[in-house]
Amino acid sequence: MSFFSNLFGGANNGLVNGAQAREAVSHGAILLDVRTPMEHEAGTIPGSKNIAVQELAQRLGELDPNQSYVVYCRSGGRSAAAAALLKQNGFANVVDLGGIGNW
């Protein structure tokens, strides 16, 4: 299996640790910060795209369903909801880092 097949199709329930997330990003996955714009401006993982979870359903058109994503928030609740929403809308390669501190 390829790196992405192992990571995105594995038995990890979609959760990854910081090392796995960094490796996914190094292989082309997009970091998606689903915190509010204010939280994002206060501190973020460099290179991440910010779409607040509250806006995600309306902004799905800004994302490529064929792309791989690593989703994160402050503590893990919003990222889990965002990852589920993405998967429900045909985004197959989505994993959840949980909170930004896990990076």
pTM: 0.90
Q: What is the per-residue pLDDT across 14-52, written as a single tens digit (0 to 9) for each?
A: 899 999 999 999 999 999 999 999 999 999 999 999 999
> Residue written as tokens 């607040």?
52
Q: Which residues are catalytic?
A: 73
Report the percentage of the chain scoring pLDDT > 90: 86
Strand order in the sheet with 49-50: 49-50, 30-33, 69-73, 94-99
Give the residue among 32, 49, 41 at the shortest CA–CA distance from 97.
32
Residue ranges and CATH numbers for the domains of the chain are: 21-102 (3.40.250.10)
pLDDT band per the 50, 70, 90 thresholds, residue 13: confident
Which whole-number Å values give the CA distances from 54 to 20, 23, 35, 44, in the listed order? 26, 28, 9, 18
